[in-house]
Each structure stands twice: as structure tokens, then as C-alpha cells.
Amino acid sequence: MKAFAIREQMNGIEEPPGKTWFWELEAGVIFADRCVRCGSCVAACPSNSIGVRADTGLPELVKMCTGCSLCWDFCPRGGLRYEALWPPSTTRADDAPVVSRPDASDPYWKLTGGPPGEGLGAVLERYAARAAPRLPGAQDGGVVTALLLAALDAGDIDGALVTRPSRDRSEPWKGVAHVATSAAEIREAAGSLYNQTMALAELDLSRCDLPERPRVAVVGTPCEIQGIRAMQARRWSTGAHRIDSVVLTIALLCTKSFDYEALTLRELRDKRAIDIDRVGKVDVIGGRLIVEYRDGSVALDEPVRDFHGAALKGCDECADFLGRSADISVGSVGSAQGWSSLLARTRAGLDAVNRARSRLDLRDLDDPEALLRLDRLDKRIALRSLERTFDPDAPLFIDYEEHLRSYEGSSRQPVVLRR
């Protein structure tokens, strides 16, 4: 592979086999504009050598890289084969027909190298749900917030990694990851913010006021839950990012996320003259981006494809719309307005739903086929995008000279092992 030649140029010293350096993640994922800002690399690094760049929000090396390869291994656009984490699907008569996969010509096998995860994935119980009473600020049914509040009240969790609006007034409608430890903080985080936050980088429990052996829930996009699941599968307990404390994972259904500046500031504020300070709700639903002002008037209703340039390119490669590795998945698709689709996938997920039953209206999922249709579309897009990325004629890794040039004019230094 080209990367090995680059290593030789890098220091000329023979190195043990199996080493992968952070700058290979930079070259293959971050500089290649494929990073989906999940923060798994930051959480996985055992020497806490990876930080988040203030200007771009992307991962960067802040200390010496030891070449342990873990940032690459846990990166969903790098070495992580997240499909391997999907528990076997449970299929029901009214789900999609089970895909037969007699050989490797099945596109899902090409995509995942494993079972395709047919139907809705592993599901113990599924509902259309909404919080009762309704929760102010919630995106759909307020189900995520109700689940977290019930778990916190019952003492099942000590806190939850959520995404709340930035407190910086120059960043209106920017989501920032935060470990909430009170009901008030969980309520404040209700609603969707359509930017990735490097969430797992914020799962630094050393900064939080929590008991010695904390139990936390994580709400995240499916790629963020993939990172946690992968680290849990390897019994991860190093560093400040205490993955072993995560007792409940809630995935938000997700086909794509956005860059904050590109979407909110450039596309909405600058190009379309949306008054961001008056915005009350942003929603991506039914293929449209809808922005409402606090007085209820519609500020914008436009096809979401018009905002493709502001979406994260790496999202196109993602085939996990349904958040199959989570304990619970929640989204708007498949349920009527004001309700959320709720899939309890594991025992822990079902326990959390049972704990919240008195706070939820539950009924049969309105339209499971809508979920399946979007899942199929998401996988098709991922497959096409992966084929483009891994075109054998298109170099995936940049060359080393180019890597060095990319630091020119920057205050950062490339990390280079000298002879």
C-alpha cells in the first residue's frame, strides 16, 4: 500500500509491523474531507494525543503520536468495520422481505463484508411515541428527553452526553456536546441541532462532577454510537474518555449531518438572509429543510439537496441510518408529526423504555415501511460513494511532501520522527 512507502520516507527507521500513525488518519480521512466529526479518534487515543482544532473543529495531533493505530482502528471512515457491531436482525412479517445473500455479488456484502442487517435490525419492541406531558423545545415527540429524564430520576444514570446550543452568542444554533448531570440540563438539550460536534471527544468524565463509578447515557448520531460500541467491544477503559461508564446508548436516525458554518452562517444567514437570532426550529424532514421563526412563521422550506454543499462529505459513505448498534434508536421518519419512532433494540434499551412508560404515549409504529425505504436509499448512496472513494485508480493517501506542505503558513508543526 502507498502508505508504507510514505512511512519509509518519514524516518527511514525500520518499524515494528502493524504501526499506523495519526497522520495516516489525517491523510486518508481528515484531509480527504471524509471525517464525520464523531470524536472516536480522540476518545480512543490512549495517550490523549488528539485534540480538536478550534478553527475547523477537526481532530489534530496535540502531542506525540506513538503509532498505536487505535485512532485509525476506531474511525468509522478509517479501519472500523462498524457493521460487525450490528447484532443479528430480528425480522417481522411486516418488515422488508429478508434479503437473500447467496454470494459476494450481493451489494450489501460488498459494502459491509458481513450480514446486511436486513429489516430494522435487532428490535425487541417498536413504537410511535411522544412525551406526556409534551416537552417544550423537543424536536419530534420529545422521546429522547423523556427517556433520559426517567433514567436520571430513577438513578439508573448519573448523567448523559447530549448536544445543547452553544453558549457563545456568536454561534447561534450551533450544537455543542456536553455531559448533562441534572434534569434541567437534559431539558435544555431537547431538540435537534444539525451539526456534528466531535461528541465523543467531550466524553471526558474527569471534568464532570460524577460519582467514582459513573453511569452515563450517550445520545448521538449513529456514527458516534458505533465508536462507543466498538470501544466497549474491546473493553475500553483507558484515559479520561470512560467508555466503560456508558450504560445506555440512544442513536438518532440520521442520513446526513452538516458543517455549522457552511449551513447556518453561509447558506441560511448570508445567502438566504435568515435572521438566525429569531429562529425557533430547524428541521430536516421529508427531504426538505424547514426553518421556523419563534413566532411560528416559516422562514424557509427548501429541498435539502440544495444544501448538499454544506453537508459532511463523509456522511455519504455512511450506511447506518437506523443506528443499528445502539440500545435505542429514535427518529421522526415512520411516525406522524409530533411523534417519534422508537426502536428498543437491546435489554438495556427496553429497560429504559419501561422506566419511562408512565411519561410516554406509546402506540404502534405508524409506517415502518418508510424507515425501511430510507434505510435502503441510504445504503445505496453509501455503496456508490464508497465505490468512488475506493476507486483503485484514485489515490486515497496523499504523498508525504504534500502532507508537509499542508502545514506551511500554519503555527502547527507536523509531527515527524527524525533519524
Least gap, CB of 400 to ligand SF4 (angstroms): 19
What single letter denotes the amino acid at residue 188?
E
The distance of Cα 24 from the centroid of its chain, to the nearest Å, equals 21
Cα of 320 vs its chain's centroid, Å: 10
| Residue 129 identity | A
| Site membership for ligand SF4, residue 332 (CB under 6 A) | no
Least spacing, CB of residue 300 vs ligand SF4, in Å = 21
Kind plus residue range of the DSSP H or E element containing 178: strand 175-180
Distance CA 218, CA 353 (A): 15
CA distance 70 to 80: 10
Q: Which of 39, 78, 119, 220 binds ligand FAD (CB under 6 A)?
A: 220
Rounded to whole angstroms, how far apart are CA atoms 203 and 30? 21
Q: What is the dihedral of CA 284, 289, 295, 297, to 10 degrees?
A: -140
Residue from 112, 192, 249, 385 touching ligand FAD (CB under 6 A): that is: 192
**By C-beta, is 24 or 202 nearer to ligand FAD?**
202
Q: Is 30 in the site for ligand SF4 (CB under 6 A)?
A: yes
Collapsed DSSP state (helix, strand, coil) of residue 52: strand
**Interaction of residue 247 with ligand SF4, rule CB under 6 A:** no
Residue 30 or 218 having the CB closest to ligand SF4? 30
Prior bond to 214 cis, omega within 30? no
* Residue from the set 42, 176, 189, 279 that interacts with ligand FAD by CB under 6 A: 189
Query: Minimal CB distance to ligand FAD: which residue?
Result: 331
Helix (H, G, I), strand (E, B) or coil at 379: helix
- C-beta neighbour count of 277 within 10 angstroms: 11
Angle CA(306)–CA(334)–CA(358) in degrees, nearest 5? Answer: 125
b (16+ CB within 10 A) / e for 188-214: bbbbbbbbbbbbbbbbbbeebebeeeb
Please report, as residue ranges, which positions from 266 to 325 form the binding site for ligand SF4 (by CB under 6 A).
312, 314-315, 318, 320
Note whether 49 binds ligand FAD by CB under 6 A.
Answer: no
Among ligand SF4, ligand FAD, none, what binds residue 37 when CB lies within 5 to 8 Å by partner kind?
ligand SF4
Q: Which of 10, 27, 35, 326 binds ligand SF4 (CB under 6 A)?
A: 35
Per CB under 6 A, 77 contacts ligand SF4: yes
Which of 7, 21, 67, 76 binds ligand SF4 (CB under 6 A)? It is: 76
196 binds ligand SF4, rule: CB under 6 A: yes
Q: How far apart are CA 30 and CA 23, in angstroms?
A: 9
Query: 75 is in the binding site of which of ligand SF4, ligand FAD, none (Cβ under 5 to 8 A by kind)?
Result: ligand SF4
The binder of 379, among ligand FAD, ligand SF4, none, by C-beta within 5 to 8 A per type, is none
What's the DSSP call for residue 408? T
Interface map 340-369 toward ligand FAD (x if CB under 6 A):
x-----------------------------
Q: Does 138 bind ligand FAD (CB under 6 A)?
A: yes
For residues 23 and 65, the answer to whether their CB atoms sit within 8 Å is: yes
Stretch of 14-22, 33-41, 154-162, 392-400 lying at the interface with ligand SF4 (CB under 6 A): 33-41
Residue of 163, 257, 325, 341 interacting with ligand SF4 (CB under 6 A) = 257
Could you tell me the three cell numbers for 88? 443479528
Asked if 346 contacts 147 with a C-beta cutoff of 8 angstroms, the reply is no
Of the candidates 325, 398, 405, which has an alpha carbon nearest to the alpha carbon of residue 76?
A: 325
Grid cell 406509546 in the structure block, residue: 362
Helix, strand, or coil (residue 203): coil
| Min separation Cβ 318 and ligand SF4, Å | 3
- Site residues for ligand FAD, 241-260, by CB under 6 A, read 252-255, 257
| Binding-site size, ligand SF4 (CB under 6 A) | 28
Q: Least CB distance from residue 74 to ligand SF4, whole Å?
A: 6
> Where on the chain is the footprint of ligand SF4 (CB under 6 A)?
25, 29-30, 35-41, 59, 75-78, 196, 221-223, 254-257, 312, 314-315, 318, 320
> Where on the chain is the footprint of ligand FAD (CB under 6 A)?
138-145, 162-163, 175, 189-195, 197, 199, 219-221, 252-255, 257, 284, 330-333, 340
